[in-house]
Structure 1
Amino acid sequence: MQPWFVYRKCSNRSCDMCIYFLVLFASVCLQVQIKREKALDITSEHLIKAMADQMANEGWRELGYVYLSIDDCWTKKQRDPNGRLEPDPDRFPSGIKALADYVHSRGLKLGIYSDMGNYTCGGYPGTTLDTIKTDAETFSSWEVDMLKFDGCYSNDTEKAIGYPKMSSALNATGRQILYSCSWPAYEGGLPPKVNYTQLGNICNMWRNYGDIQDSWASVLDIIKWYAVNQDVLQPTAGPGHWNDPDMLITGDFGLSYEQSKAQLAIWAILAAPLIMSNDLRTISQEAKDLLQNRLLIYINQDSLGIQGRQIMKVDCLGVWKRELVNGQYAIAVINMGDDGLPRPFTTSLGLLNVTQCPVGYKLYDVFDRNYLGLFNSETTFNLKINPSGVVMLFIQPASVVNHMKRHGSYFG
């Protein structure tokens, strides 16, 4: 299976292609407190190549995880005499073009980071209004495939000019580069300060909210913000232009197994880019199995590209629903309580407004990988939602024949 989304046709972005929106995110930001010799091992082209090998050899690439993205702090502290960005020669001695060649040789794509401002968030040279064209041409010459464009150390006026200008500059290079914008996150994520119609025309994905932290509290804060503001956010997403609630922290340290499932489920319902933030050399098998869940990826990458919504809240339970192709649906019931208790939830397809197929629907548990049976609209079923956990259902019309035979690999 090859999950994919098609770029939206638009007037001033290079959009006419297919792209995988499952991304591996490898941070190369040098922290002040890390000794230099240790940093050379952690934040280097060696790390990026090692991640590329893991993605190619451990089944990630075939599932759609094809972008390997470098974050902040990869440059020298000064531009070269011609005003061009240069990689740190100690950590990237071969240069970014050679690194891109290696990543491409593994069947993957390379992403890079810059900032619309005087400095990056880590204090390295930013992209100012007068260097946008130069930087776009530099990234293109290195054959980079994605740009994350941050927004530290700039004002509202500069951002309003700079983000559209970078979009045009990337297009002008002739290279198709996925453009990830952080602009709305710096403007509170909501209209009137954020113009989502404009964003949809210039960016392929955008951060709406603050940085995720490696904690359940942070994940829950983002989920609640998306629920409260879904009437504004949900219509803005679609093929080629996506809301980005930030990275997946499954495989790091801050989430339990149940909490990891909950983040993955809601990100899939939100049609969010799946951007991992972990070390694939040391990730647990448990986390790997979650991130490589084929049915979850199928739901996330559904070609309709409709972002899901929270359709009801029952005490501490949030019920989310996403419409999929061929009359299919995904439902996620998340336990947001803080009392450590599992919660029962009784419902029916009728109550979930899944009634279009008169012969009923087949239900599957996404994480338990079980077929639950055939249900009509009136039949009730009982779920138990673990503390800070989720139950996610895949719902398919019974009129679709031999689903398990045709798509049994989703549960493999």
Structure 2
Amino acid sequence: MHLPVLVIASMLAATTIALDNGLMKTPPMGWLAWERFRCDIDCDNDPKNCISEKLFMDMADRLSEDGWRELGYVYVNIDDCWASKTRDEKGRLQADPKRFPGGIKKLARYVHDRGLKLGIYGDMGTYTCMGYPGTPLDKIKIDAQTFADWDVDMLKYDGCYSNETEQEKGYPLMSKALNATGRPIAYSCSWPAYQGGLPPKVNYTELGMICNLWRNYGDIQDSWDSVQSIIDWVFNNQDVLVPAAAPGMWNDPDMLIVGDFGLSMDQSRAQMALWAIMAAPLFVSNDLRTISSGAQNILQNKLAISINQDPLGIQGRRIVKEKSRIEVYLRPLSNNASALVFFSRRTDMPYRYKTSLGKLNFTTGIYKITDVFTYKTEVLKDSTDFVVSINPTGVVMWYLSAPAKLNPRLLFNHDKHQRPVHRDDEKNAIPLVFL
């Protein structure tokens, strides 16, 4: 495939030295409490959904028993509102004793016994965003050591109640403090989100040497408008963001809300597909105890996950933006393969979009194409016009193998044992061969 110059530049950027903890060489995957459960601490009246050790144990059980862990969803991540409002007599953070009676270390053991990892939340300001004790500059070392003593595997470090000067000092200090504990603790920092997400305030070369992943835009909400706003921001700024991503260091567009209340099935597939194209962390925030089979099938789609987890770690980009409100996204993958997403921003009716791989700058040859969500396969020549029908606010996502030499037998159905050629009813579209 002929790759645009900026894509090649992003491949070269993958050689940048990342945070030296050996972690997250592919985007992390797991479950995160915040979007679905927020700061529900009313365990007396809502024991099933409150932020408590029981909630995280329940989710660990679901990840380990319902097929999530084997697909890579291994993190069980606590967000805000887990802590007691006061530190202990030695100045250490402590879990709320009523909601986490066993403490974080016991919860970590429960999670680890199920082949999973535990993430926790902190904030470099005087308080967390919801008013619990923060980790300001003078508490960084003790809190990093506390997390290590608890056998925590990941820290999300927020930035409420802090200023730019404190953030400039604190985020690198926490990175060093975590590494100094001797325990491998993945590090998610919110620094760029508090600096507007873009240069010159944000130095992504520096970030890649400090953090494993970073939030660079606002929090996702349970709505399609929120998902679209994130997609817009990421791809409108792709020339800055794409070179920043590489194994061990990832742009984080926030959680997957598939399985909650705000997205249709088409919109759920769209979020999953575009997060895979973005090489984004896949942290689902839903109730795994009650998730629908449709939402679970989307989140457990093996081909979408394999695209997201591609070891090259190249973040994809938007390559076409049509007046018809159809967009095309490309991500280069290992073994000279690639992923394409055809995305419709229309809201009226399915749209039949006509193009060819040649028009999308693919090199001469034939390609085996697998539809990610139907698993149907096709063989397609680069010069062949084809038509994809895209549902409103939906996607068609393809995995494309490396181009092969032209073989007329594959293109013209000369083999009597070959299945019939499928003819799209779009005028002038060339037939595709289904395998």
TM-score relative to the length of structure 2: 0.86
**Residues 73 and 16 from structure 1, CA distance in 2 versus in 1: closer, same or farther, beyond 3 angstroms?**
closer
Matching residue of 2:29 = 22
Give the Cα–Cα distance (whole angstroms) in 2 for the partners of residues 310 and 335 of structure 1.
13
Partner in structure 1 of residue 315 of structure 2? 307
What fraction of aligned residue pairs are identical, expressed as a percent? Answer: 57
Deviation at 1:375, TM superposition (A): 1.0
- Which position in structure 2 is the counterpart of 1:361? 367
Q: Distance in 2 between matches of 1:83 and 1:146?
A: 21
Where relative contact order (Cα < 8 A, 6+ residues apart) is larger, the structure is 2
Does 2:253 align with 1:253? Answer: no
**Distance in 2 of aligned mates of 1:104 and 1:343:** 47
Please give the residue correspondences for 1:6-405 in structure 2 after superposition, counting only pairs within 5 Å: 10=17, 13-15=20-22, 21-27=28-34, 29-31=38-40, 35-42=42-49, 43-315=51-323, 316-337=325-346, 339-355=347-363, 358=365, 360-371=366-377, 373-397=378-402, 399=404
Quick one: which amino acid aligns to residue 303 of structure 2? L
Helix, strand or coil: the match of 2:209?
Answer: helix
Q: Deviations over 1:313-365 (max 9, x none)?
A: 0121111000001111100011112x422211111111111215x3x100111
Instruction: Give a deviation string over 1:176-222, Cα, whole Å, max 9, x none.
Output: 11100111011110000101011000000000100001000000011
SS of 1:38's equivalent? coil
Describe the SS at the equivalent of 1:125.
Answer: coil
Larger radius of gyration: 2
> Can you list the C-alpha shifts for 1:18-45, whole angstroms capped at 9, x where unaligned?
66611211236434xx745135442211
Distance 2:273 2:216 in 1: 19
Q: 1:66 to 1:20 in 2, by over 3 A?
A: farther
Q: Given residue 343 of structure 1, which amino acid in structure 2 is its aligned partner?
A: Y
SS at match of 1:375: strand
Give unmatched runs, 5+ long, in structure 2.
1-13, 406-435
Aligned 8 A contact 2:26 2:310 in 1: no
Going from structure 1 to structure 2, the CA distance change for 1:19 and 1:39 (only over 3 Å counts) comes to farther
The question of whether the paired residues in 1 share the 8 Å contact of 2:24 and 2:249 is answered with no
Question: In the aligned structure 1, how far is the partner of 2:266 from the partner of 2:205?
Answer: 36
CA contact (8 A) 1:308 1:321 kept: yes
Residues 253-306 of structure 1 show CA distances to partners (whole Å, capped at 9, x for unaligned) of: 000000001111110000000110001000000000000000000100001100
What secondary structure does 1:210 align onto?
A: coil
What code does the residue aligned with 2:253 have? Answer: P
Question: How big is the alpha-carbon RMSD for the aligned residues of Structure 1 and Structure 2?
Answer: 1.7
Q: Kindly provide the CA deviation profile for residues 91-111 of structure 1, in whole angstroms up to 9, marking residues without a partner as x.
A: 100000010001000000000
- The residue type equivalent to 1:83 in the other structure is G
Runs of 4+ in 1 over 6 A off after TM superposition: none
Q: Distance in 1 between matches of 2:393 and 2:18?
A: 43
With structure 1 as the length reference, what TM-score do the two structures score?
Answer: 0.91
Distance 1:185 1:18, change over 3 A: closer
